[in-house]
A and B are shown apart, each in its own frame.
Chain A
Amino acid sequence: MKGWGIDMWGRLSLEALPHDIVTIGGVVGGGLAVLAGVAALTYFKKWGWLWREWITSLDHKKIGIMYMIVAVVMLLRGFADTLMLRAQQAVFGAGDGGPISADLFQQVFSAHGTIMIFFVAMGILFGALNLIVPLQIGARDVAFPLLNSISFWLFVAGMMLMNLSLAIGEFSTAGWLAYPPLSGLEYSPGTGVDYWLWSIQIAGIGSLLSGINFLVTIFTMRRKGMTLMKMPIFTWSVVGSMALVLWAFPILTATLAMLTLDRTIGTNFFTSDLGGNPMMYVNLIWAWGHPEVYILVLPAFGVFSEIVPVFSRKKLFGYKSMVMALMAITVLSFTVWLHHFFTMGAGANVNAFFGIMTMIIGIPTGVKVFNWIFTMYKGKVSFTSPMIWFMGFVVTFTLGGLTGVLLSVPGIDFQMHNSLFLVAHFHNMIIGGVVFGLFAGITYWWPKFTGFYLHEKLGKIAALCWIVGFLVAFVPIYILGLMGAARRLDSYDPSLGWQGLFVVAAVGVLIIGLGVVVQVAQVAYSIWKRKELRAPHDAWGGRTLEWYAHTPVPEYNFAVLDTVKSRDEFWQMKQENRFRSKSTLLPIELPKNTSAGFLIGMTAGLIGFAVIWHIWWLVVIGVIAVVGLVIWANLREETEFELSVGEILRHEKSMKRAGL
């Protein structure tokens, strides 16, 4: 037992501060950005506003917007990582040295993958779900508003831990999925893997809670008359995605917990000896990891299934087929995880089975592509920026589908596994599928929540930069894979002649970077010119209920809840001109603000930090605090407030007076 003076702060000491110039630069840059934000809030006296209107809010729309903001900031950080990786491989990889050491390079690609999946893609996804799903099913809120706030703040806590690793300690060097034994105590004794574990563990629990919340919301809170087969297709895609969250995230939680126990108290679940089995980890992490891909991509499919009919001014081709395809993908995505490690020595029967199951997923996915294309058939297609994203999506996603089928054949995968061909393939699916889909969705739904359009031309330029940049960045990566280049190389033999292609790839990333700059400019310019870009309730000639709500959407979403009669309800209402409500206005109950979500999230983050640094007394305090907070949050008596009929009427009138 050492004295308090030494032991009190566990492993934490001044040694944890960054030493190399690149990391210090990142910390200073990030720190300055945070300081600027704090200074601005103080100068404009906005702290109270931030607390009352945002941090403690349980309004699903505000939580959605906060998810979006955090995710977009993380996108910029993840993209900064990309620039470092590309610069290293294009400029310094063929020689020796350069400003990025092998160790730092490995931290950067581990952080890049972790951030992009957990804090960008998942963040934008949950942001979109929060904003759209309740409106689309004609509800006033999600099923569990407080749980929703807790989920969001757990996500933020994970994000903060992830970024704290830059300033205090280090990040994992074991890749975004941290296979043991590399991620075990023997080979990674530092705090890096612990940061990785706790940031995604905390964020992951938030995701699981959100999954439950949205499933319950969709199954129990749909507007009267909206049977399952009348549900908008985006909501269907969310059902698939959230069912996967519900089934897959517990696997992640358990797997991370076992690795945490291995690292923290010396158990042997995944060690090489003493009966541990690292192969079990690889199986478990992909039993979550493969469904995770579909958790992200199904809602992107849903977005395009909304956009294509609206901009073709025609109903979706083959709605039933689309629902069947979505559900087929949902179920099948649990039967393919082993294709991530055909080279781990399974027998030919096992490999062949998982290869064939993987190909089968290609069938419903292909059907969806044909249905989207035939939605344009005999329609009136206007090529707004969401449609440019759609065209780019079909081209890139189909190419990714082809390379995916190649990789699903074990005989071919033996040659391509862990090569840059694989890296190009999954970026093909994530960028071409998920990112394009989410950007299309943001452009499409933006006017609903802000009251103005995003500038169209800038949007089209950004989309083109992304599409062209993607192809220029990743076609050379595919070729390098065919040349036998492995992934994650901080250096390579210059005599192989790979450098030129790495330079082309870096140019491609710069083109994508230009797209990002244009997107930032687009948002800034659109806010500046918001009066000229003002949008009506029904910004695009929409078909689903969210376009029936006022713009911007009032806290209660809909004043009256009329029965739904058809699939494209709002389109039908417009066709039949039935806007006069038959319901009478009733008082509306809305959730009261509470700080419980924020406090629980931040305390969970503190527990993570304390375990990472072995500050055990703080862990104890944190756990007690979380339990206390949860009890307190549940004992609150007045959780809702009532909006009287008079107040609703006044609100409705004021919105009409504003010319909206």
Chain B
Amino acid sequence: MLEKVEKLIKQLSSFLTMKRIYITASLGLVIAFLVMFLMLPGKNIALLDPKGLIAEQQLDLLVFTTLLGLVVIIPVFVLLFVFAYKYRASNKKADYQPDKKDNVLLEIIWWGIPILIILLLSVVTWVTTHQLDPYKPIESSKEPVKVQVVAMQWNWLFIYPDHGVASVNELPMPVGAPVEFSITADAPMSAFWIPNLGSQTYAMNGMTAKLHLVADKPGVYPGMNTNINGEGYAKMRFKANAMSQAEFDAWVSRAAGSDNHLDWNEYTELSQPTKDIPPRYFMLHESDIYDRVIAKYMDHGGGNKSTDNQNSGHNHEGMGH
């Protein structure tokens, strides 16, 4: 029995030469990459296909940084394989100097070049971090649309305070107009992200996070939560619907005239943990729902309940703001 196993192993071993193994491995990789590549056409590769100013700037930054990185990476790959091949033990012609002295010049080069690259990237980072600060309003000739976002377990509520309407799990927005989001959570820490439009932001209890985005092309873009906040986390999706100003105005008047009224009672029901509520529109019946959601978490103990949301809300804005 054992001898048979040994014989089988020997046969297998002589068939599987290292050369054949290397060829199989390389072929496998090539096929896998080919398959992946063939899967891509027709898909929404959101980060490489921006539909708004912020996402566009972020793509430019992504491309620039990648190219800068390749300046270091390509020499690494080339040197690795060239040296590995040239100085392989079986190559008797190659020079062998086991006690070769350290070459200070070479070391200065590869401390120096990365330092220069990082110096350049640091400047770019400083500038773009300020330029892409989510709190910074987008300059535009159009009036910004204000949207208050509440992350609930596990649905999204969008309140349009200036338009007197609200929407669940769908985010209608006019093309070309900057949208000023105020984001909070009535759920464990969540995160608001529309990949085609750019920047995501955490949504947290008792605080407002600001985010400014704009859609430059009409379309329906997937939006989602990216921070786990309970069982229904994966289902917490919405559609960002970028439409013309006329369509948006029509939607607003439809919603304002609808029979669905959003007041605190309706909100309390809506914010119960549920999954997959189909998109719904509301006429905004009470204007302070967003502030009351924040105030729910403003209890500091000792009975000193602050009702001045403006004030304490500001204190609870994200760190540094």
Q: Do B32 and A472 touch across chains, with their CB atoms under 8 A apart?
A: yes
How distant is the Cα of A497 from the Cα of B36 in the complex, in angstroms? 12
Q: Do B320 and A378 touch across chains, with their CB atoms under 8 A apart?
A: no
A369 contact from B48, B58, B76, Cβ within 8 A: B76
Q: Is B99 an interface residue (CB 8 A)?
A: yes
Q: Is A26 an interface residue (CB 8 A)?
A: no
Q: Do B121 and A414 touch across chains, with their CB atoms under 8 A apart?
A: no
**For B4, what are the chain A residues with a Cβ–Cβ distance below 8 Å?**
none
Q: Do A504 and B36 touch across chains, with their CB atoms under 8 A apart?
A: yes
CB of A530, distance to nearest CB on chain B (Å): 15
Q: Is B128 an interface residue (CB 8 A)?
A: yes
Q: Do A457 and B13 touch across chains, with their CB atoms under 8 A apart?
A: yes
Main secondary structure of the interface of A (DSSP, over half): helix
Q: Is A139 an interface residue (CB 8 A)?
A: no
As a 0/1 sequence over residues 491 to 527 of chain A, the CB contacts with chain B under 8 angstroms (1 = contact) are 1110011001100100110010000000000000100
Of A116-124, A474-482, A621-629, the segment with at least 4 beta carbons within 8 Å of chain B is A474-482
Q: Is A635 an interface residue (CB 8 A)?
A: no
**For A356, what are the chain B residues with a Cβ–Cβ distance below 8 Å?**
118, 122, 125-126
**For A496, what are the chain B residues with a Cβ–Cβ distance below 8 Å?**
43-44, 222
Of B155-163, B194-202, B260-268, the segment with at least 4 beta carbons within 8 Å of chain A is B194-202
How distant is the Cα of A147 from the Cα of B181 in the complex, in angstroms? 55
Q: Is A181 an interface residue (CB 8 A)?
A: yes
CB of B20, distance to nearest CB on chain A (Å): 11
Q: Count chain B CB atoms within 10 A of each CB in A175, A406, A411, A471 and give the residue with the most.
A: A411
CB of A318, distance to nearest CB on chain B (Å): 5
Chain A residue at minimum C-beta to C-beta distance from B88: A381
Q: Do B122 and A482 touch across chains, with their CB atoms under 8 A apart?
A: no
Q: Is B139 an interface residue (CB 8 A)?
A: no
- Contact-residue bracket for chain B: 35 or more
Q: Do B200 and A347 touch across chains, with their CB atoms under 8 A apart?
A: no
As a 0/1 sequence over residues 24 to 50 of chain B, the CB contacts with chain A under 8 angstroms (1 = contact) are 010011001101100110111111100
CB of B319, distance to nearest CB on chain A (Å): 5
> In B112-138, which residues have CB < 8 Å from any A CB?
114-115, 118, 121-122, 124-126, 128-136
A409 contact from B18, B61, B83, B193, Cβ within 8 A: B61
B84 contact from A381, A415, A417, A464, Cβ within 8 A: A381
Q: Do B76 and A398 touch across chains, with their CB atoms under 8 A apart?
A: yes
As a 0/1 sequence over residues 192 to 235 of chain B, the CB contacts with chain A under 8 angstroms (1 = contact) are 01011011111011110100000000000010111111111111
Chain B residue at minimum C-beta to C-beta distance from A320: B102
CB of B107, distance to nearest CB on chain A (Å): 5
Q: Do A350 and B87 touch across chains, with their CB atoms under 8 A apart?
A: no
Q: Do A187 and B132 touch across chains, with their CB atoms under 8 A apart?
A: no
CB of A255, distance to nearest CB on chain B (Å): 16
Of A214-222, A338-346, A576-584, the segment with at least 4 beta carbons within 8 Å of chain B is A338-346
Q: Count chain B CB atoms within 10 A of each CB in A187, A272, A351, A492 and give the residue with the most.
A: A272
Of A201-209, A243-251, A358-366, the segment with at least 4 beta carbons within 8 Å of chain B is A358-366
Q: Do A349 and B122 touch across chains, with their CB atoms under 8 A apart?
A: no
Q: Do B39 and A501 touch across chains, with their CB atoms under 8 A apart?
A: yes
Q: Do B297 and A272 touch across chains, with their CB atoms under 8 A apart?
A: yes
Q: Do A175 and B95 touch across chains, with their CB atoms under 8 A apart?
A: no
**For A103, what are the chain B residues with a Cβ–Cβ distance below 8 Å?**
231
Chain B residue at minimum C-beta to C-beta distance from A456: B18
**For B28, what are the chain A residues with a Cβ–Cβ distance below 8 Å?**
468, 472, 511
Q: Count chain B CB atoms within 10 A of each CB in A313, A319, A525 and give the residue with the most.
A: A313
How distant is the Cα of A42 from the Cα of B22 in the complex, in angstroms? 45
Q: Do B36 and A475 touch across chains, with their CB atoms under 8 A apart?
A: yes
Q: Count chain A CB atoms within 10 A of each CB in B43, B89, B226 and give the residue with the most.
A: B226
Q: Is B11 an interface residue (CB 8 A)?
A: no
Q: Do A360 and B118 touch across chains, with their CB atoms under 8 A apart?
A: yes
As a 0/1 sequence over residues 171 to 183 of chain A, the CB contacts with chain B under 8 angstroms (1 = contact) are 0011100011110
**For A660, what are the chain B residues with a Cβ–Cβ distance below 8 Å?**
none
Q: Is A21 an interface residue (CB 8 A)?
A: no
Chain A residue at minimum C-beta to C-beta distance from B50: A415
**For A377, what are the chain B residues with a Cβ–Cβ distance below 8 Å?**
83, 87, 100
CB of A414, distance to nearest CB on chain B (Å): 4
| Number of residues of chain A lying within 8 A (CB) of chain B | 111
**For A552, what are the chain B residues with a Cβ–Cβ distance below 8 Å?**
none
Q: Do A279 and B132 touch across chains, with their CB atoms under 8 A apart?
A: no
Given the known interface contacts A106-B228, A405-B69, A412-B62, the answer about A488 and B196 at a Cβ–Cβ threshold of 8 Å is no
Q: Is A382 an interface residue (CB 8 A)?
A: yes
**For B88, what are the chain A residues with a Cβ–Cβ distance below 8 Å?**
381-383
CB of A52, distance to nearest CB on chain B (Å): 32
CB of B299, distance to nearest CB on chain A (Å): 4
Given the known interface contacts A346-B319, A417-B226, A490-B234, the answer about A274 and B301 at a Cβ–Cβ threshold of 8 Å is yes
Chain B residue at minimum C-beta to C-beta distance from A184: B188
Q: Do B126 and A352 touch across chains, with their CB atoms under 8 A apart?
A: yes
Chain A residue at minimum C-beta to C-beta distance from B126: A352
> In A367-395, which residues have CB < 8 Å from any B CB?
367, 369-371, 373-374, 376-383, 391, 394-395
B47 contact from A274, A349, A482, A501, Cβ within 8 A: A482
Q: Is B189 an interface residue (CB 8 A)?
A: yes
**For B199, what are the chain A residues with a Cβ–Cβ distance below 8 Å?**
343, 414-415
> In A389-427, which residues have CB < 8 Å from any B CB?
391, 394-395, 398-399, 401-402, 405-406, 408-412, 414-419
Given the known interface contacts A102-B234, A345-B202, A411-B129, the answer about A475 and B33 at a Cβ–Cβ threshold of 8 Å is yes
Given the known interface contacts A419-B226, A484-B47, A491-B235, the answer about A317 and B102 at a Cβ–Cβ threshold of 8 Å is yes
How distant is the Cα of A476 from the Cα of B124 in the complex, in angstroms? 29
**For B66, what are the chain A residues with a Cβ–Cβ distance below 8 Å?**
402, 406
A344 contact from B100, B136, B202, Cβ within 8 A: B202
Chain B residue at minimum C-beta to C-beta distance from A281: B189
Q: Is A275 an interface residue (CB 8 A)?
A: yes
Q: Count chain B CB atoms within 10 A of each CB in A180, A275, A417 and give the residue with the most.
A: A417
Q: Is A24 an interface residue (CB 8 A)?
A: no
CB of A394, distance to nearest CB on chain B (Å): 5
How distant is the Cα of A418 from the Cα of B195 in the complex, in angstroms? 12
Q: Is B250 an interface residue (CB 8 A)?
A: no
Chain B residue at minimum C-beta to C-beta distance from A374: B106
Q: Do A501 and B205 touch across chains, with their CB atoms under 8 A apart?
A: no
| Shortest Cβ-Cβ A-B pairs, 6 listed | A345-B318, A484-B195, A347-B320, A182-B188, A272-B205, A418-B226
- Can you identify 17 A-B contacts, CB atoms within 8 angstroms? A182-B228, A187-B230, A272-B204, A278-B189, A314-B98, A347-B319, A347-B320, A373-B83, A379-B87, A381-B83, A383-B88, A383-B89, A398-B73, A411-B128, A489-B234, A504-B32, A504-B36
Residues of A that sit less than 8 Å from B by CB: 102-103, 106, 173-175, 179-182, 187, 268, 272-275, 278-279, 312-315, 317-321, 341, 343-352, 355-356, 359-360, 362-363, 366-367, 369-371, 373-374, 376-383, 391, 394-395, 398-399, 401-402, 405-406, 408-412, 414-419, 457, 460-461, 464, 467-468, 471-472, 475-476, 479, 481-484, 486-493, 496-497, 500-501, 504, 507-508, 511, 525
Beyond A345-B318, A356-B118, A461-B21, 8 additional contacts (C-beta under 8 Å) are A182-B228, A279-B319, A318-B102, A346-B318, A348-B135, A472-B32, A484-B196, A491-B234
